[in-house]
Amino acid sequence: MQRVQDRKHYVSDVVGSFFLSAFASEGVRAAANYSGNDDFYKRYFERKNVQVGILHYRSAIGPLVSFSY
Write out the chain's pLDDT in tens, 69 residues: 777 888 888 888 888 888 888 878 877 877 777 777 778 777 766 666 777 788 888 888 888 877 776
Q: Is the pTM of this model over 0.85?
A: no
Find the helix or strand (DSSP H, E) in which 55 lies. Answer: strand 50-57
What was the pLDDT predicted at 47?
62
What was the pLDDT predicted at 16?
85
What was the pLDDT predicted at 44?
67
The amino acid that residue 8 corresponds to is K
* Separation between Cα atoms, residue 5 and residue 14, nearest integer Å: 12
Are 20 and 26 within 8 A, CB to CB? no
Domain ranges in the chain?
A: 2-67
Are 46 and 37 within 8 A, CB to CB? yes
What was the pLDDT predicted at 45?
67
